[in-house]
Structure 1
Amino acid sequence: MHPVIVIAGASGGLGASTLTAVTGTLLSRECSPTLVDADFGGGGLDATLAVEHLDGLRWEDLAEHEGEVDASRLRRGLPEGPVPVLAARRWRPQAATARSVTRGLAHVGPVVIDVPSGPRVDPMWLELADVVVVLVGLRPRWLRDGEALAATLGEASERTLLVTRGPRRASRVADRAGEHLGLPLLEHLADEPGVIRDEAHGRAPRPRGAVREVARALVESVPQARASLGEGVLGLAS
């Protein structure tokens, strides 16, 4: 099994979907990852990747699915921009379907899951995750949101990494935020104007700048990823 990585924002607008997309793009240089959209009430991760206009399977097309998944065939049927994505369009699959699909895709390659921002992650995704990444902003209100989310992680906190979000100068307090939340700090994600420009021009997030460095640190931090990808993953800095 390849690793399943869940990425969650404690507050909206911190860039969890962007980090999901860029992490998948970096992984795609070495293996066959799939992005999975678990924000069933949102606008769709395919829109983040600028492939919402492409034909391909979405969660609602799996409504009748039962049993094991032919994951290779499923992956080939997904809309593909930088990375194949199983997107949601306001339809929620049954829990059994979501588990079966996620586990099946993890047999093909790493799975990176974008969950809704907020004070709680659905326990199903926490159970499936090898690694949980929590984005927490460093403004007072955002830190309180981070406290609320951290308090709900339960046993998953042992495999959770913190990414703080804010201006580059705020990185000085990122370690203290990690200590306060009781979560190990992976990296600080500094504001990146290029991400906003890409979104305004309808482009998928590109692996560059601060978000690329955080995604690279995430890929290199996952022991299961090193085992399944080999040492080539360590060459992502180039």
Structure 2
Amino acid sequence: MSVLLITRSPIVHDSVVPLCAAAGAGVEVCAEPALSLAAWREADLVLVGDDLAAALAGLAPPRRAGVHVVGVGLSDTAFRSAVELGATSAVDLSEGASWLSEELGDVGERASPGRLVGVVGGAGGAGATTLACALAQWHARRAPTLLVDGDPLGPGLDRLLGMEDLAGVRWEALTETAGRLGARALREGVPRREHLGVLTWSGLRRALDATTARRVLPAAVRGHDLVVLDLPRHGGAARAELVDRCDDLLVVTPATVPGVAAAARLVADLGGAGRAALVLRPGGLGDADAERVTGLPIAAVVPDQRGLAASLDRGLGPLTGRGPLARAARDLLAAAA
């Protein structure tokens, strides 16, 4: 992990460098704006001292993520320079030391954010929640994975995975707080078993708000190799926020006339069909007809799995062997990679 600090100010230098050392982040200090351009693209995080922000903005470096203007007692000029640089924020170090510590803790994780896969039922009872659990269980065998419960009317993903008694942060705690959420804080805070974490509700469920979704999902993808969203069939701004952030969207529906018709209406309501694909469950309708009605390609056909209900009732999740769901999860994630 690397940090580029552009400043001549001893105050900025002495405020930032010790925090970088504490976070284990290597820091390159550059006192000449023109010379800093050589490392501008390569650094994981760029911190621009308010003393050199205007001079650097005058050089018009290419826009990139992870740029922040920092200083003590920031002036209006510093804020204008932050806008000109396309900086994510301008931070007063006299008040933002904790923010910088969290930001440094995320350095390197943000450089290669995880993939976000959304799963939604094209029709009620199609098995979208089960598939979401299967995808998360499969990927968690090898890398950090977060399963996100976006459906307040669902059964509770932690129950299906036998994780309901594990301590950790649920949606309620996140909706009651504000401010930036660190990737590491989220990853280490949610209920987790080895590589698999789950974010869901406890007790009385309530609809997720768009502001919380907008704050949590960036931290989720920074801190995990894969994030799987179990999406609600109905929703407003919060569901739209979740769907908009998906790299891939899987619509699960039975291959029946009612199921495919319902999926077609859902796809029209969701938008973002360019990232969506069908996952078909057993039914009498042909693949070509399902594709024609929905306008979506078929990503997988998943037959019934023996013993699935018993496995879910026991809190084992859907992956207990090498059945159809394991093969579907493997193939779908390989195609999404």
TM-score category (smaller protein): 0.7 to 0.9
Q: What residue number does 2:246 align with?
A: 129
- Is 1:65 matched with 2:177? yes
Structure number with the bigger relative contact order (C-alpha 8 A, sep ≥ 6) is 1
- Is 1:115 matched with 2:227? no
Offset of residue 119 of structure 1: 9.3
Superposed CA RMSD in Å reads: 2.2
Question: Under a length normalisation based on structure 2, what TM-score does the superposition of the two structures give?
Answer: 0.60
- Return the match for 1:200 from 285, 288, 313: 313
Question: Under a length normalisation based on structure 1, what TM-score does the superposition of the two structures give?
Answer: 0.84
Alignment partners' CA distance in 2, 1:153 and 1:129? 12
Offset of residue 198 of structure 1: 0.5
Alignment partners' CA distance in 1, 2:180 and 2:279? 34
Alignment partners' CA distance in 2, 1:38 and 1:119? 10
Q: What residue number does 2:27 align with?
A: none
Aligned residues: 219
Q: What residue number does 1:8 align with?
A: 120
Task: Give CA deviations for 1:177-216 in whole Å, capped at 9, x if unaligned.
Answer: 1232110110111111221121233322216311112111
Q: In terms of mean alpha carbon deviation, does 89-98 or 138-147 score higher?
A: 89-98
- With over 3 angstroms needed to count, the CA separation of the structure-2 counterparts of 1:190 and 1:34, relative to structure 1, is same
Residue 281 of structure 2 aligns with an amino acid whose one-letter code is R
Q: Which has the higher Rg, Structure 1 or Structure 2?
A: 2
SS at match of 1:76: helix
Alignment partners' CA distance in 1, 2:220 and 2:291? 32
Task: Give CA deviations for 1:128-174 in whole Å, capped at 9, x if unaligned.
Answer: 111110001112221221121122232x100101101116xx5x822
- Report if aligned partners of 1:35, 1:85 keep a CA contact under 8 Å in 2: yes
Q: What residue number does 2:258 align with?
A: 141
- Report if aligned partners of 2:260, 2:293 keep a CA contact under 8 Å in 1: no
Structure 1: any 5+ residue segments left out of the alignment? 227-238
Matches within 5 A, 1:1-238: 1-81=113-193, 83-89=196-202, 90-109=205-224, 110-117=226-233, 122-154=239-271, 156-166=272-282, 173-206=286-319, 208-222=322-336, 226=337
Alignment partners' CA distance in 2, 1:191 and 1:166? 7
Say which structure is richer in helix.
Answer: 1
Alignment partners' CA distance in 1, 2:142 and 2:292? 34
SS at match of 1:92: coil
- With over 3 angstroms needed to count, the CA separation of the structure-2 counterparts of 1:119 and 1:105, relative to structure 1, is closer
Structure 2: any 5+ residue segments left out of the alignment? 1-112
- With over 3 angstroms needed to count, the CA separation of the structure-2 counterparts of 1:218 and 1:85, relative to structure 1, is same
Offset of residue 30 of structure 1: 3.0
SS at match of 1:152: helix
> Share of identical aligned residues, percent?
30
Offset of residue 74 of structure 1: 1.7
Q: What residue number does 1:234 align with?
A: none
Alignment partners' CA distance in 2, 1:200 and 1:92? 25
- Report if aligned partners of 1:34, 1:85 keep a CA contact under 8 Å in 2: yes
- With over 3 angstroms needed to count, the CA separation of the structure-2 counterparts of 1:194 and 1:174, relative to structure 1, is farther
Residue 193 of structure 1 aligns with an amino acid whose one-letter code is R
